[in-house]
Amino acid sequence: MTQVNKTNRRRFLQASLASSAALLAKPASAQEVVLQPARSTGRTIFEAGEYGMPSEFATGSRLIGSANGLHGGARTPLSESHGIITPSGLHFEVHHGGVPDIPPHEHKLLIHGMVDNPKIFTMEDIMRFPSVSRIHFLECSGNGEQEWSSPSSPTTTVQQSHGLTSCSEWTGVPLKMVLDELGIKTEAKWLLAEGDDSSRMGRSIPMWKVIDDAFLVYAQNGEFLRPEQGFPLRLLVPGFEGNMNVKWLHRLELSDKPWWTHQEVARYSDPRPNGKKVVFSFYMDAKSVITSPSSTMTLNGPGFYEITGIAWSGRGKVAKVDVSTDGGATWQEANLQTPIFNKAHTRFRLPWMWDGKEATLQSRTTDDTGYVQPNYEQLYALQSPIGMMHNHAIQSWRVQQDGTVINVHHV
Amino acid sequence: MSAHKTLKLIGFVSIAISLSFGALFASAQEKFGFGKPAHPDEIARYNSDIHTDGSGLPDGSGDVALGAEIYEYQCALCHGEELEGVPEMGANSLHEGRRDIKKLPYASSLFDFIRRAMPLTDPGTLSNDETYGLVAFLLNETGVIKDDNLTLDAKSLAAIKMPNRQNFIIDPASRFTAEDLQ
């Protein structure tokens, strides 16, 4: 009895499957569609981890370069970055003596020299001051140093050529407000900022900049600084070369003259065509780069592509970005993502129909002081063909007929 | 909007503005009062920097022979027997190219850097005598001062005129003139 019933049921099922297949040819009524089964449940909420991590399929990671692990750095994956904010874990880093992780309750900031009342601040003291949050880029002045005289390689990626710039929201305390507590002596013209890393990184910073917009930073992108960004305290001198934004900040000394520290005279100084060397060249000048399409990418046949990239200036806001697809012969103004922040990455985008012929892509920014990003020829005249720091020349990417993109110098 | 309401609004806005820091305190003498006074001894423990006129240089002295010995044991591994640099260790040549010691504007920068940052793996361990000796050794090796018996201390180091000093120029954008920097 049971046996018979089962067989019947199977027959019925087979028959109904066959007829439902036949029904597919006609307009199906809703209940007859076989639904795609839902995804399995994935990981549980318990497995989420107390600090969220990116998908294992998400691409974009930093590129690390160091011989000994103590000095060197890691570059931001610009071609896989979107918008203007760099996630803290993808921010570039450069070190001269390793990365300490300092317990904040042990950290102190000493301020002395040409002040009326030298003082020591704990992190708790510093965080009691009224705070500000601002979006600023940070760029190592060595960004692009290998590209200066000639392209390092046709397959150099934008991460390799430009990955020593990143942009974050920083939170901290205006330094002027803290210094006013101590009373700044009128003779004070320079400030030594010193880090509590093994190399005791020291840089001289002009007081006018300190008064203008320097701030003591303890948070980045909504959370405390990462150790590699100077936890628990770093200096931010917006628009000035990365090295001056001293990390693990533990001492500030005011003086009437700069220190000419080894870092500022041997490393962070710029050769000129006449053999002279320029010191105290703090500003990171107006610069831009196309992040897509860029070297090592391949365009999948003629048609629509969005040209996109970032522009920034250490002297103010990005006023405009022009894009060329013919190596600078003609230019088109790109769309800028708003709002545009002062001394911050600014995203630009331009729609482009690729006709399948060789094209040389360039971007050129102008900041709100009117300064126009130079090409290599202009940069050599300005600085030196053997220069290394402050390479802010126009970058060229060549789209070849087969759709592959390479790194070239075009003027 | 009635005139009465407008007035109230203006009053509100002006209160908001006066709450910005400028007007937070009734007088300029009033402060937040955070932090504690730094005692001179505390300052002295951290205040290691040296100015170009030699102020800040510590007591002690060292000669080329002492420097050569320290160099051999603590520096040559990375910087090479002949100061040529060992790329695998990430160290540059100290006698040519961008890190050429001859090209430095002041000897004070060299003393300060070695004392604060070298040897890379164990900085802050060199004594003042050893640091003076290393500067004497490096200046002799690179031909800045050709004297195998050179001995340096605070006074003699401050008196050194580096041959490349006049080639350093000021970035006009730094808003400082050459005199400001002396």
| CA B11/CA A285 separation, integer angstroms | 43
How big is the CA angle at A171 (ends A87 and A263), to the nearest 5 degrees? Answer: 80
pTM: 0.89
**Among A48-52, A149-153, B1-5, which stretch is predicted with the lowest mean pLDDT?**
B1-5
Using a CB-CB distance cutoff of 8 angstroms, which residues of chain A are in contact with residue B30?
Answer: none
Task: Say if residue A14's pLDDT is above 90.
Answer: no
Predicted local confidence at residue A20, as pLDDT = 46
Are the C-beta atoms of B102 and B142 separated by less than 8 Å? yes
| CA A350/CA A332 separation, integer angstroms | 8
> Which of A107, A120, A249 to mutate to test binding with chain B, by most B CBs within 10 Å of its CB?
A120
Task: Say if residue A41's pLDDT is above 80.
Answer: yes
Residue of B nearest to A281 (CA): B171
* For range B130-140, the mean pLDDT: 98
Predicted local confidence at residue B2, as pLDDT = 39
* For range A332-350, the mean pLDDT: 98
Predicted local confidence at residue B27, as pLDDT = 65
| CA A228/CA A70 separation, integer angstroms | 12
Closest CA to A128 of A209, A207, A216, A193: A216
Kindly provide the residue ranges of all beta strands, DSSP E only, lying in A281-358, ordered along the sequence: 287-292, 303-312, 318-324, 332-333, 335-336, 346-354
| CA A68/CA A325 separation, integer angstroms | 41
**Beta bridge partners of residue A289, listed in sequence order:** A310
A276/B167 touch (CB, cutoff 8 Å), yes or no: yes
Structure tokens at A211: 């008064």
Using a CB-CB distance cutoff of 8 angstroms, which residues of chain A are in contact with residue B104?
Answer: 262, 265-266
The CATH fold assigned to A71-278 is Sulfite Oxidase; Chain A, domain 2 (3.90.420)
Dump pLDDT digits (tens) for A119-135. 999 999 999 999 999 99
Q: Is B178 at the interface with chain A, CB within 8 A? A: no
Residue of A nearest to B117 (CA): A199
Dump pLDDT digits (tens) for B32-86. 999 999 999 999 999 999 999 999 999 999 999 999 999 999 999 999 999 999 9
- Per DSSP bridges, beta strands B168-170 and A277-279 are parallel
Task: Say if residue A390's pLDDT is above 50.
Answer: yes
Residue with tokens 């900022």: A193
Using a CB-CB distance cutoff of 8 angstroms, which residues of chain B are in contact with residue A118?
Answer: 37-38, 43
Domain spanning A287-407 has what CATH number?
A: 2.60.40.650
Predicted local confidence at residue A49, as pLDDT = 86
Predicted local confidence at residue B182, as pLDDT = 53
* For range A146-151, the mean pLDDT: 92
Binning pLDDT at 50, 70 and 90, where does residue A268 land? confident
Task: Say if residue A235's pLDDT is above 90.
Answer: yes
Residue with tokens 């010691």: B101
Dump pLDDT digits (tens) for B3-32. 444 334 333 333 333 344 555 676 656 789
Predicted local confidence at residue A203, as pLDDT = 95
B112/A262 touch (CB, cutoff 8 Å), yes or no: yes
B90/A281 touch (CB, cutoff 8 Å), yes or no: no
Predicted local confidence at residue B15, as pLDDT = 38
| CA A236/CA A130 separation, integer angstroms | 16
Please, which residues have CB within 8 angstroms of residue A9's CB and are 6 or more apart in sequence? none
Q: Is B90 at the interface with chain A, CB within 8 A? A: yes
What is the residue extent of each domain of chain A?
Answer: 71-278, 287-407
| CA A78/CA A62 separation, integer angstroms | 9
Please, which residues have CB within 8 angstroms of residue A74's CB and are 6 or more apart in sequence? A62, A63, A64, A65, A92, A93
Dump pLDDT digits (tens) for A164-192. 999 999 999 999 999 999 999 999 999 99
H or E segment at A24?
Answer: helix A2-24
CA A63 and chain centroid, separation? 13
Please, which residues have CB within 8 angstroms of residue A324's CB and are 6 or more apart in sequence? A330, A331, A332, A360, A361, A362, A363, A364
| CA A181/CA A118 separation, integer angstroms | 10
What is the residue extent of each domain of chain B?
Answer: 1-37, 43-181
Predicted local confidence at residue A67, as pLDDT = 87
Name the average pLDDT for chain A.
Answer: 91
* For range A185-200, the mean pLDDT: 95
Binning pLDDT at 50, 70 and 90, where does residue B180 land? low
Are the C-beta atoms of A233 and A187 separated by less than 8 Å? no
Q: Is B103 at the interface with chain A, CB within 8 A? A: yes
Q: What is the DSSP letter of A333?
A: E
* For range A236-247, the mean pLDDT: 97
The count of other CB atoms within 10 Å of the CB of residue B6 is: 10
Predicted local confidence at residue A22, as pLDDT = 45
Binning pLDDT at 50, 70 and 90, where does residue A26 land? low
B87/A257 touch (CB, cutoff 8 Å), yes or no: no
State how far residue A159 is from chain B, nearest Cα, in angstroms: 21
How big is the CA angle at A316 (ends A143 and A175), to the nearest 5 degrees? Answer: 90
Q: Is B41 at the interface with chain A, CB within 8 A? A: no
What is the assigned CATH class of domain B43-181? mainly alpha
- The answer for A 221-260 residues in CB contact with B (under 8 A) is 250-251, 253, 255, 257-260
Dump pLDDT digits (tens) for A212-234. 999 999 999 999 999 999 999 99
Percentage of chain B modeled with pLDDT above 70: 79
Predicted local confidence at residue A21, as pLDDT = 46
Q: Which of A353-357, A375-379, B84-88, B97-101 ranks highest by mean pLDDT?
A: A353-357
Dump pLDDT digits (tens) for A298-339. 999 999 999 999 999 999 999 999 999 999 999 999 999 999
Task: Say if residue A101's pLDDT is above 90.
Answer: yes
Residue of A nearest to B30 (CA): A181
- Per DSSP bridges, beta strands A108-113 and A249-255 are parallel
